Amino acid sequence: MKKRLIIRSLIGLVVGALAVHAITLFVNYISRGEILICMPELIEKLGLTKAIIVQTVLGALISMIAIGGTVLFDIETWSLLRATVAHCALILFSYLTVGLLLSWFSFHIIPILIMTGGIIIVYALIWLIMYAIWKAEIRNMNRLTEEYKKDIEASEDQSS
């Protein structure tokens, strides 16, 4: 499990470092009509170079947590519900913390509630899609198992 955690976290590091800039570019373009690599509030606080470095590091960290945290689903003693709630809470806490640090939204109750709701809705949608995919795969594996059993029985009947 440690090896999977390390591998997934390293994948998350790369994905997050790139995705955080894409997200910030998109948000700035949609909200301000400008193409900015960092939020202006963050640039004002830290300067452009430090803002880019901090944003890259925090983006990598949040993605490492999100992707690395999927090992929670590998804990065999945990129910799917427990792993899902733990992973969702981990992501929610991480995104809210990083979002506040990177000035993606202000430290007021309404923006925090909106972000919380958005994160939970997106998480639930992704979870439902993945659940449907897993369920279809399990159904297919069960069908293949039944076909295999029938083939074995048929070959045993022919050899008798």
What integer pLDDT is reported at residue 104 of this predicted model? Answer: 86
Tokens (6 digits) for 40: 């202006």
Cα–Cα distances in Å, from 117 out to 27, 62, 121, 138?
18, 18, 6, 31
Average pLDDT over residues 146-156: 86
Sequence-ordered list of residues with C-beta below 8 angstroms from that of 63, at least 6 positions apart, any chain:
12, 13, 15, 16, 17, 19, 20
Least confident of 3-7, 60-64, 96-100: 3-7
Q: How far is CA 33 from the centre of its chain?
A: 27
62 occurs within a structural domain? yes
With b for 16 or more beta-carbon neighbours within 10 A and e for fewer, the 110-133 pattern comes to eeeeebeeebeeebeeeeeeeeee
For the stretch 19-59, pLDDT in tens is 999 989 998 898 889 999 999 999 999 999 999 999 999 99
Instruction: Tell me if 71 sits within 8 A of 8, measured CB to CB.
Output: yes
With b for 16 or more beta-carbon neighbours within 10 A and e for fewer, the 54-69 pattern comes to bbbebbbbbbbbbbbb
126 occurs within a structural domain? no
What integer pLDDT is reported at residue 3 of this predicted model? Answer: 85
What integer pLDDT is reported at residue 12 of this predicted model? Answer: 83
pLDDT band at residue 160, thresholds of 50, 70 and 90? low
65 occurs within a structural domain? yes
Q: Which domain holds residue 54?
A: 1-78
pLDDT averaged over every residue in the chain: 90
1 occurs within a structural domain? yes
Q: Based on the structure, what is the number of domains in the chain?
A: 1
92 occurs within a structural domain? no
What integer pLDDT is reported at residue 46 of this predicted model? Answer: 95
Say if residue 149 is exposed, middle or buried (CB neighbours under 10 Å; 0-12, 13-18, 19+): exposed
